[in-house]
């Protein structure tokens, strides 16, 4: 923007302009008083006088005619005032918008969750505990496949993601907190000969049809399973949905065993109309994580979810942090 040569104003690109000087100028011009401008800006009068003196020095001319009774604009001041008003209005709008965004971020959190984890007790516990501590916060749960959730997280369409840690490994600008660890189990129909075994080896599954969730739901997690069980990618039967209940129903209809995740060190037990048997040699494990983009703003609802998860699943927090989580 070039200066107005009618008043001898230098080109603005040659002047190191400070936004605070223009805001101060606008306040003095609007209130016709240095003292009133200082009160309006919540500053001392010497600070206001310094800002005006700096602006006048950079422009090379006076902006105000000062008298004992009032402050009047010079011709240069009158020429500069419309631009100063536009700057002040834009700053006011920006501050209002920022305050609105901050309020929204403080009272709303959007959590993405892997469809396969719809019934996971740790997911349910974290969300229920947060709602109990923050009843006025609007919590939105978005269920989707992990790749889609990570894209939404990077694009700031959601704030947090609950998924498998193996699916987050290597994701740019994303950090994760472990909530739980699981080991693979085989849920077999009650008539299957495998129900006689206490454990199932990975080798014994070679060539057997086994139902699992759709690969698109968690490609990296599936790749890990494929590596652990030789040839698994050739004989696994993909269920159409990622939800664990849907996978079990799909497997039951076909009389096939299905993969599921259970607590580490679990033993053979009756579950969901079948028998859950640990897979060993090698054991196949995974982690449940809460993921976020690095640089999450402190004090937001998403930050409070993160700190609550850390309190529930990691090292205990001090009392100040506990109170901050609940506020």
Q: Where are the domains of the chain?
A: 5-73
pLDDT of residue 102: 58
Residue 15 clears pLDDT 60, i.e. is over it = no
Per-residue pLDDT tens for 114-170?
A: 988 888 899 999 999 999 999 989 899 999 999 999 999 988 889 999 999 988 887
At 104 the pLDDT is 53
Contact (CB, 8 A) for 175 and 236: no
By the 10 Å C-beta count (0-12 exposed, 13-18 middle, 19+ buried), 260 is classed as: buried
Find tokens 């704030």 and name the residue. 159
On average, the pLDDT of the chain sits at 82
Q: What share of residues in the chain are helix, strand, coil (percent, to 5)?
A: 50, 20, 30
Query: What one-character DSSP code corresponds to residue 297?
Result: P
User: What confidence category does residue 308 fall into, taking pLDDT thresholds of 50, 70 and 90?
Assistant: very high
Q: Rounded to the nearest 10 degrees, what angle do helices 19-31 and 75-107 cross at? A: 110
Cα–Cα distances in Å, from 143 out to 45, 73, 113, 135, 214?
56, 61, 5, 22, 15
pLDDT given at position 126? 95
pLDDT at 298: 80
Closest CA to 302 of 106, 147, 124: 106
Compute the distance between CA of residue 9 and CA of residue 17 in angstroms, rounded to an integer.
13
Q: What is the pLDDT of residues 184-232, one digit of tens each?
A: 888 999 888 888 888 988 777 777 888 988 888 888 888 877 666 666 6
pTM reported for the whole predicted model: 0.63
As a CATH number, domain 5-73 is 1.10.10.10
Cα–Cα nearest to 224, from 240, 239, 237, 212: 212
Q: How many CA atoms lie within 13 A of 29 on its CB side?
A: 24
């Amino acid at each position: 923007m070039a200066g107005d040569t009618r008043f001898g104003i230098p080109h603005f690109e040659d002047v190191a302009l400070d936004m605070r000087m223009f805001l101060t100028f606008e306040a003095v011009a609007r209130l016709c008083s240095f003292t009133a401008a200082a009160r309006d800006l919540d500053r001392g009068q010497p600070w206001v006088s310094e800002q005006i003196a700096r602006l006048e020095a950079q422009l090379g001319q006076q902006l105000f005619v000062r008298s004992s009774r009032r402050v009047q604009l010079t011709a240069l001041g009158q020429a500069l005032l419309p631009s100063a008003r536009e700057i002040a209005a834009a700053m006011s709008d920006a501050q209002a918008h920022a305050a609105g965004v901050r309020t929204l971020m403080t009272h709303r959190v959007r959590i993405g969750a892997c469809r396969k984890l719809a019934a996971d007790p740790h997911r349910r516990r974290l969300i229920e505990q947060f709602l109990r501590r923050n009843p006025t916060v609007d919590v939105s749960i978005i269920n989707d496949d992990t790749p889609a959730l990570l894209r939404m997280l990077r694009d700031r369409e959601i704030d947090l993601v609950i998924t498998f840690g193996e699916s987050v490994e290597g994701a740019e600008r994303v950090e994760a907190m472990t909530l739980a660890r699981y080991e693979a189990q085989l849920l077999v129909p009650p008539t299957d000969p495998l129900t006689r075994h206490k454990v199932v080896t990975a080798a014994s599954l070679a060539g057997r049809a086994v139902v699992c969730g759709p690969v698109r739901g968690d490609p990296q997690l599936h790749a890990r399973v494929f590596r652990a069980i030789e040839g698994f990618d050739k004989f696994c039967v993909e269920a159409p949905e990622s939800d664990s209940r849907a996978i079990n129903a799909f497997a039951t209809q076909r009389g096939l065993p299905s993969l599921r995740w259970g607590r580490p060190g679990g033993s053979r037990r009756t579950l969901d109309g079948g028998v859950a048997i640990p897979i060993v040699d090698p054991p196949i494990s995974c982690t449940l994580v809460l993921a976020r983009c690095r640089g999450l703003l402190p004090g937001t609802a998403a930050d409070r979810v993160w700190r609550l998860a850390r309190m529930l699943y990691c090292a205990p927090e001090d009392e100040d942090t506990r109170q901050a989580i609940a506020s």
